[in-house]
């Protein structure tokens, strides 16, 4: 395992991430079939990619792959709703948006959160207090959208958000932020000779080692196949980056 206090590379080992991607798709399919949440996901063109079975039952023909988000939620044509949605879509933090309603219509809101390649939406309809089980499911959905399925580390989307915060914190003669890039030496050879199962196990072990080395003010991410990153905030540099790189 090699670490560098440097910029982030863009090389992507497709073979190393294929099994993790399939596992993620299977998990998502099971979740969408069984969740009680009105959940949907959209790509960077605001087109529907995945949706919960319950959402389809509620909205019928409007819910088809490729449908524009405003075909399902016309309220997003409203300026206030659109602006808040775009803020999240462009990398902002998750937000709850109250949807405009007609006289006599029950209150509705949507929880919008960023994903690796777009946004996810959970619709809420006011029917009394949410149960503890519903709240737990809500939190699980948010965690799955912001964390890597295989390793449990935060994902590429969260990495981008946190990196923006780190860049904003840099200033003065002694910046207190650092970025460490970590990749696994000869990882492709492990996949080629021992199979993807062994590769996945190695990724999980590497993630665990990185996680165990973290201290307060440090956060870890898996942003590509065998590539990880750690962001340090509020640390004395370069001493703390060097300490983590050799741990």
Q: Are 211 and 220 a contacting pair, CB within 8 Å?
A: yes
Position of tokens 């996901």?
Answer: 41
Q: Are 233 and 177 a contacting pair, CB within 8 Å?
A: yes
Q: Reduce the DSSP state of residue 171 to 3 states and report it.
A: coil
Q: For the chain, give every domain's residue range.
A: 2-17+152-245, 35-146
**What value, to the nearest 5°, has the Cα angle with vertex 159 and ends 186 and 196?**
30
Give the model's confidence band at 8: pLDDT under 50 very low, under 70 low, under 90 confident, else very high: very low
Looking at the DSSP bridge assignments, the partners of residue 229 are 181, 221
Does residue 172 have a pLDDT over 80? no
Query: What is the C-alpha separation between 25 and 19, in angstroms, rounded?
Result: 10
Q: Reduce the DSSP state of residue 187 to 3 states and report it.
A: helix
| Contacts (Cβ under 8 Å, ≥6 apart) of 236 | 174, 176
The predicted model scores a pTM of 0.53
Report pLDDT digits (tens) over 129-170.
Answer: 555 566 666 667 777 778 888 898 988 878 887 887 777 767
Q: What is the b/e burial string over 6-34, where b = at least 16 CB atoms within 10 angstroms of the residue's CB?
A: eeeeeeebeebbebbeeebeeebeebbee
Calculate the average pLDDT of the chain. 79
Give the model's confidence band at 105: pLDDT under 50 very low, under 70 low, under 90 confident, else very high: low
One CATH from 3.40.50.970, 3.40.50.1860, 2.30.29.30, 3.30.450.20 for 35-146: 3.30.450.20
Say what percent of the chain tops pLDDT 90: 19
Does residue 128 have a pLDDT over 50? no
Chain center to CA of 162: 12
Largest CA-CA distance found in the chain, in angstroms, rounded: 65
Characterize the bridge pairing of strands 95-98 and 48-51.
Answer: unpaired
Q: Reduce the DSSP state of residue 179 to 3 states and report it.
A: strand
Q: What is the b/e burial string over 120-142, where b = at least 16 CB atoms within 10 angstroms of the residue's CB?
A: bbbbbeeeeeeeeeeeebbeebe
Report pLDDT digits (tens) over 12-56.
Answer: 344 444 555 565 667 677 778 878 788 899 988 899 999 999 999
What architecture is the 2-17+152-245 domain classified under in CATH?
2-Layer Sandwich (3.30)
User: What do you get for the CA distance between the two ends of the chain, in Å?
Assistant: 11
């Amino acid at each position: 395992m090699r670490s560098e206090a440097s910029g982030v590379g863009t090389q992507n080992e497709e073979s190393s991430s294929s099994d993790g991607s399939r596992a993620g798709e299977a998990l998502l399919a099971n979740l969408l079939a069984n969740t009680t949440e009105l959940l949907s996901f959209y790509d960077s063109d605001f087109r529907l990619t995945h949706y919960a079975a319950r959402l389809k039952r509620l909205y019928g023909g409007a819910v088809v792959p490729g449908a524009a988000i405003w075909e399902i939620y016309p309220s997003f044509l409203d300026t206030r709703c659109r602006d808040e949605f775009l803020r999240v879509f462009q990398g902002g933090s998750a937000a709850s948006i109250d949807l405009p309603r007609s006289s006599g219509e029950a209150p509705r809101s949507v929880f919008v959160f960023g994903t690796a390649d777009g946004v996810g939406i959970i619709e809420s309809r006011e029917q009394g207090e949410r149960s503890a089980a519903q709240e737990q499911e809500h939190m699980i959905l948010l965690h799955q959208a912001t964390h890597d399925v295989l390793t449990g580390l935060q994902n590429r989307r969260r990495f981008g958000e946190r990196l923006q915060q780190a860049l904003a914190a840099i200033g003065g003669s002694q910046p207190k932020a650092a970025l460490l890039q970590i990749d696994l030496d000869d990882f492709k050879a492990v996949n080629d000779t021992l199979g993807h199962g062994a590769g996945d196990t190695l990724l999980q072990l590497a993630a665990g080692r990185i996680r165990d080395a973290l201290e307060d003010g440090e956060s870890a991410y898996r942003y590509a196949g065998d590539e990880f990153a750690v962001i340090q905030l509020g640390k004395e540099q370069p001493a703390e980056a060097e300490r983590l790189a050799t741990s």
